[in-house]
Amino acid sequence: MVTSLKSSGDSDTHAQTGSSYNRKDELKAFDDTKAGVKGLVDAGLTKIPKIFIHDNLKLGKSGSAESNVTIPVIDLAGVRKEANLHSEIVNQVKNACQKWGFFQVINHGIPVSMLNKMIDGIRRFHEQDTEEKKKFYNRDYQTSKVLYNSNFDLYVAPAANWRDSLSCVMAPNPPDPEELPEVCRDIIFDYTRMAKELALTLFELIAEALGLSPNHLKDMSCVEGLFCVCHYYPACPEPESTMGTSNHADSSFLTLLLQDHIGGLQILHENQWVDVTPIPGGLVVNLGDMLQLISNDKFKSVNHRVLAKNVGPRISVACFFRPQFQTENSSRLYGPINELLSEENPVIYRETTTKEFMTHSFSIGLDGTSALDYFKL
């Protein structure tokens, strides 16, 4: 099946409507292999299939990142101990959330050994026998708690990404241990437990940075749901023609991202792509659309992407904090927080449920379009 996928070198290149290229069939053929992008690479592909080719991709000059700007790095050591230090950190968080929507944290309390173990566990999952992985292949995000697939938005996005992912709903109701792949079961439980603790601290800091009481966001159940997505970006033979992850903003309240040393993640800052350079032992934090909505644009969710590379694999783990489809809380209404509204800051968004928000975001897929516009009053 894999070899029947048209590669970029085929004669009808770019004739998207040509009779010999039926995109939907090609997507389905790829999906049916259940072997993901890793399966293509294992088959020795030297040209990437057409479904992965991004038209109008200008990864040349406009794709190269500004070298002299870096996203903020915030040291969380002592955050709960000293009042002075605490308010200094709140200030740094406020600045980062207003100006960047992205920052990195160090001394965050999760040991480096655990970060490394998580990356190793995810690598083991993706590099195990394809037949083992196939058992988890699934696209039913509404009902499944553990899913492995390639491109959650395969059938809606304009072009596919060079990436496979294992996704797990870890909170509020985690899967039974047997539901998780054995090769990374324990570490997923351990890592996500610590990620959730760190997220609690981050939501407290963000609440204070918004001028609210530390527990305000927690009390709105922003930290209740945790969706953990473990990405594997194989080395790509034609990295300039595709993307690891297309330009998008996250739909979560907050995302905590663990990335290995390979790099490739960039954020769109003042119309420039800026590299999020991996820091050993560090974690990346970014705000999602739901936080922008409840903060009434005080804090921004920022677009980002991952470049495909000819080195790899690259491994990353995104913990999305947001209510889950499966829980009763998915019908809870979220709108701009009253305390943040005034005559100068009139309400921008209507109230929505996370279920509606997520369904809308999923229907767009990753193509750089903001899901937020749809909720503007």
List contacts with Ni ion (CB under 5 A). 250
Asked if 340 is part of the footprint of ligand OGA (rule: CB under 6 A), the reply reads no
Asked if 348 is part of the footprint of ligand OGA (rule: CB under 6 A), the reply reads no
Q: Which helix (H) or strand (E) holds 99?
A: helix 83-99
Binding test (CB under 6 A) with ligand OGA, winner from 194, 229, 279, 364: 229
| Helix/strand/coil for 236 | coil
Nearest distance, CB of residue 131 and ligand OGA, angstroms? 26
Asked if 224 is part of the footprint of ligand OGA (rule: CB under 6 A), the reply reads no
Of 224 and 250, nearer to Ni ion (C-beta) is 250
The piece of 68-76, 94-102, 208-216, 257-265 that touches ligand OGA (CB under 6 A) is 257-265
Task: Round to whole Å and give the CA distance between 328 and 187.
Answer: 28
Nearest distance, CB of residue 310 and ligand OGA, angstroms? 17
Task: Round to whole Å and give the CA distance between 359 and 125.
Answer: 28
291: left (phi over 0), alpha (psi -120 to 50) or beta: alpha
Task: Round to whole Å and give the CA distance between 354 and 137.
Answer: 25
Residue owning tokens 């609210």: 212
Nearest distance, CB of residue 286 and ligand OGA, angstroms? 8
Of 104 and 245, nearer to ligand OGA (C-beta) is 245
Nearest distance, CB of residue 276 and ligand OGA, angstroms? 8
Nearest distance, CB of residue 318 and ligand OGA, angstroms? 4
Task: Round to whole Å and give the CA distance between 338 and 12.
Answer: 56
Binding test (CB under 6 A) with ligand OGA, winner from 104, 150, 167, 259: 259
Which amino acid type is present at position 341?
L
Nearest distance, CB of residue 221 and ligand OGA, angstroms? 21
Nearest residue to ligand OGA, scored by beta-carbon proximity: 316
Asked if 245 is part of the footprint of ligand OGA (rule: CB under 6 A), the reply reads yes
The listed partner (Ni ion, ligand OGA, none) that binds 265, CB under 5 to 8 Å by sort, is ligand OGA
Nearest residue to Ni ion, scored by beta-carbon proximity: 250
Binding test (CB under 6 A) with ligand OGA, winner from 231, 269, 309, 355: 231
Nearest to 258 by CA among 191, 189, 184, 182: 191
Q: Which helix (H) or strand (E) holds 112?
A: helix 112-127
Residue owning tokens 């939907």: 24
125 φ, ψ to 5°? -60, -50
Which amino acid type is present at position 62?
S
Residue owning tokens 């922008």: 292
Burial of 346 (0-12, 13-18, 19+ CB in 10 A): exposed
Asked if 306 is part of the footprint of ligand OGA (rule: CB under 6 A), the reply reads yes
Binding interface with ligand OGA (CB under 6 A): 229, 231, 245, 250, 257, 259, 265, 304, 306, 316, 318
